[in-house]
Amino acid sequence: MTAAPVAPPTAGVRAQRRLNAALLYVALVPLALLFLAPLWIMLVFSTQPETAIFSPNPPLWFGGAFAENFRGLQADTNFLRTLLNSTMIASIYTVLSMLLTSMGGYAFAKFEFPGKGPLFGLILATLTIPAFVTIIPQFILVARDLQIGNTYWAVILPTLANTIGIFYMRQAFQTVPTDLLNAARIDGANEWRIFWQIALPIVRPALAALAILLFLASWNDYLWPLIVLTQKDSYTMPVALGTLVGLTRVSWGGIMVGTAIATIPFLALFLALQRHFVAGIAGGAVKD
Amino acid sequence: MTTTARSTTSPPVATPPRRKRPPLAPYLFILPYLLIFATFWAWPIVSSFLMSFKDSRLGAAAPYGLSNWSRLVQDEFFRTALRNTLVILVIQVPLMLSLATVLAVALNSKLLKAAGLFRFAFFAPLVVGTVAYSAVFRLLFNTDFGIVNRALTGLGLPAVDWLNQSGPAMSVLILAMTWRWTGYNAIILLAGLQGISEDVYEAAAIDGATPAQQFWKITLPLLRPTLLFCLVLSVIGTLQLFTEPALITNSGPGNSTMTLGTYLYQQGFRSFNFGYASAIAYTVAAIAAIFSVLQLRLFGREQ
């Protein structure tokens, strides 16, 4: 009586499947190792003295020179100060940009109002305009008109209105039932309260993913901080590392410590939150 | 910072027959975003265009004219930067997107056990900053003590003077960018793949389609919008390439890896020639626009 079950795979089919799986591993394992190799070498070299890095047989396992390399890096760049700058800038940027993009995304997702279409179209259109186009007027604005060069705000303000972010939050808020918001309206809650206490908590997973992406983007940004920060003590971590890489006599042990410190927290976070990370990048990137 | 704007004490007003009020709330919600957007995005886009018609070396009172643009068409450094950028674009983007597509399909395969481990391996580079990986690649490809040359000579192959010859320097840039960005594109493509219904493949399998046929006839066509998205973003990203040539090859040897990005930086922020740099910036924008339209025409049918 029941529908015929799918025929169990024959021996031939199973053998074929095993062969395919084997081929998959033969291709993927070396490629995966190749992708991990630069990270491995970065971690290993951060713990090795310069003599070992430059030796004919470079080490592939950890050594004991991390502290020594770090001291060199700190002496060259005031690295702790640049870490503080990077942390402050990335944190302030992340919080403010999340607030701005979620407020805007909420309005585009949950309100009908005159001008909505053209406004959204305008923001959409700038997505395909390379950021390069704005870099010189932004510099003039920040350095000359606003006189905030070398401050955290010089780095933060121009990138705050994140275009991808507003799309991402708009999509997230579209999943919030309008009936729920209307129910709150009938209960007399004002619009800000509805947004802050009802809609925002519902999209918390999307917010978490966006927060990671915004923080990472700000933390790793190089060109813009390089342009607006001209004093050593206001440098962010990538700018400080960049000045070292450009030198003729390069202290590689120190640079590897810097790159490792900049990378390890995110590798750990990535391992722990892989799913959110992947969902965040995919959700932020793919438009409906 | 975020709590200061909280105001939750407006009296509840009951307005049973819903009357049309001018909707103020949505505008207030968008206002902060729009203020920043207008100041630091929309206006600079216009301002940059105007600036490209002014010789900024002559000061604020300089007349509008075409001097920057006429200089641009004769500038051989600009031509070198443009050519280098396009060479990287034409080789790197297809290489990366093919690899990302194959990886996404492999990572999506049910035959693969321990997919999490593989995902970590391929996606890990995307948390590494451009400065950090530029430094690592510069070290790896160092002629005298780089690990790549050590491996080559270990295998009995000749060492390559990677960063001091134009061709090899270019390939190091392409390899570095491929290492950094393949995983990012693979994630987006993986999300696209997971949006394709299982039923389509089951129906195809029943009709006797081989895995290869399924890939070419089902996966690729259905993945096209996602691929198009990756393509457009990658092209725009590559046109603005700056960190890698600045830090791995220092635009050299000679100017053989100078890109539009490093040339713009040099003109704008080393020579402070804002007008000329704006003309370069708008050239990048124009090329990006042309590519976007072309890509939509060629690959965006049905969308």
Tokens 């809650």, residue? A189
Please determine, for residue A2, whether its predicted confidence score (pLDDT) is greater than 50: no
pLDDT one-digit tens code per residue, A145-166: 999 989 999 999 999 988 889 9
Torsions phi, psi for B12 (to 5 deg): -65, 125
Does B42 map to a domain?
Answer: no
Distance between CA atoms of residues B103 and B183, nearest Å: 8
List all residues 6 or more positions away from B11 whose beta carbon is below 8 Å from its beta carbon. Answer: A188
Please name the residue ranges forming H helices in B109-259. Answer: 115-123, 130-140, 147-154, 166-194, 198-206, 211-214, 220-239, 243-244
Closest partner CB to B25 (pick from A111, A223, A242): A111
| Contact state of B191 with A285 under an 8 Å Cβ cutoff | yes
- Mutation test of the interface with chain B: which of A34, A113, A136, choosing the one with the most B Cβ atoms within 10 A? A136
- Look at residue B48 and tell me if it is in a domain: no
Number of domains comprising chain B: 1
The answer to whether the CB atoms of B127 and A263 lie below 8 A apart is yes
- CB pair distance less than 8 Å for B124 and A39: yes
- With contact defined as beta carbons under 8 Å apart, do B72 and B79 qualify? no
Cross-chain Cβ contact A32/B239 below 8 Å? no
Q: Do A134 and B45 touch (CB under 8 A)?
A: yes
Interface probe for B, chosen from A55, A133, A192, A237 (most Cβ of B below 10 Å), is A133
Instruction: Report d(CA A122, CA A153) in Å as an integer.
Output: 26
Both ends of chain A: CA-CA distance in Å?
43
Residue B246 domain-assigned?
A: yes
Domain assignment of residue B40, yes or no: no
Q: What 8-state DSSP symbol labels residue B5?
A: T
| CATH number for B234 | 1.10.3720.10
What pLDDT is recorded for position B167? 93
* B50 part of a folded domain: no
Chain A positions in Cβ-Cβ contact with residue B246 (cut-off 8 Å): 242, 246
Give B-chain residues touching A274 at CB under 8 angstroms: 116, 119-120, 123
CB B217 within 8 A of CB B209: yes
Give per-residue pLDDT as tens, B195-229: 888 888 888 888 888 888 888 988 999 999 899 98
Query: Which tens digits make up the pLDDT trace of A237-283?
Result: 999 999 998 776 678 899 999 999 999 988 888 888 777 777 776 76
Whether residue A179 has pLDDT greater than 50: yes
**pLDDT score of B21:** 60
- Which residues on B lie below 8 Å from A269 (Cβ)? 127
Residues of A in contact with B289 (CB under 8 A): 128
Q: Which helix (H) or strand (E) holds B294?
A: helix B274-299
Tokens representing residue B68 in the block: 């920057």
B23 contacts in chain A (CB < 8 Å): 111-113
Residue B207 in any domain: the answer is yes
Query: Which residue shows structure tokens 């100041």?
Result: B39
Which domain range does residue B184 map to? 87-300
Q: What are phi and psi of B110, to 5 degrees?
A: -75, -20
Nearest CA in chain B to A170: B30
Q: What is the model's pTM?
A: 0.88
Closest residue in A to B190 (Cα–Cα): A282
Read off the amino acid at residue B296.
L
Is the separation of the CB atoms in B294 and B232 below 8 Å? no
Q: How confident is the model at residue A60 (pLDDT cuts 50, 70, 90)?
A: confident
Question: Which one of B14, B187, B246 has the shortest CB-CB distance to A281?
Answer: B187
B293 within a domain of the structure (yes/no): yes
Closest CB to B240 among A32, A131, A161? A131
B-chain residues within 8 Å CB-CB of A141? 39-40, 44
- Of A158, A142, A154, A90, nearest to B38 by C-alpha is A158
Q: How far is B234 from chain A (nearest CA, A)?
A: 11
CA distance B52 to B65: 9
d(CA B264, CA B242): 9
**Which residues of chain A neighbour B37 with C-beta distances below 8 Å?**
123, 161
Separation between Cα atoms, residue B43 and residue B273, nearest integer Å = 20
Q: Is A197 helix (H, G, I), strand (E, B) or coil?
A: helix
- Element spanning A212, H or E: helix A204-220
Query: What does the pLDDT average to over A75-93?
Result: 95
The answer to whether the Cβ–Cβ distance between B264 and A132 falls below 8 Å is yes
Residue carrying structure tokens 């790159």: A259
As to burial, measured by CB atoms within 10 angstroms (0-12 exposed, 13-18 middle, 19+ buried), residue A106 is buried
Are A56 and B150 in contact (CB < 8 Å)?
yes
Cβ atoms of A233 and A78 within 8 Å: the answer is yes
- Residue B1 inside a domain? The answer is no
Q: Which residue in A188, A10, A17 sits closest to B10, CA to CA?
A: A188
Residue A1, min C-alpha distance to chain B (Å):
23
Contacts of A281 in chain B (CB under 8 A): 126, 184, 187-188
In angstroms, the CA B149 to CA B137 distance is: 12
Q: Do B145 and A132 touch (CB under 8 A)?
A: no
Consecutive 10-residue runs of chain B (303 residues): their mean pLDDT?
43 52 85 94 93 84 86 95 96 97 91 84 90 92 90 91 92 96 92 86 86 88 90 92 93 92 94 93 93 84 52
Which residues in chain B are contacts of A245 at CB distance < 8 A? 131, 134-135, 138, 247
A68-84 CB burial, b ≥16 within 10 A, e <16: bbbebbbebbbbebbbe
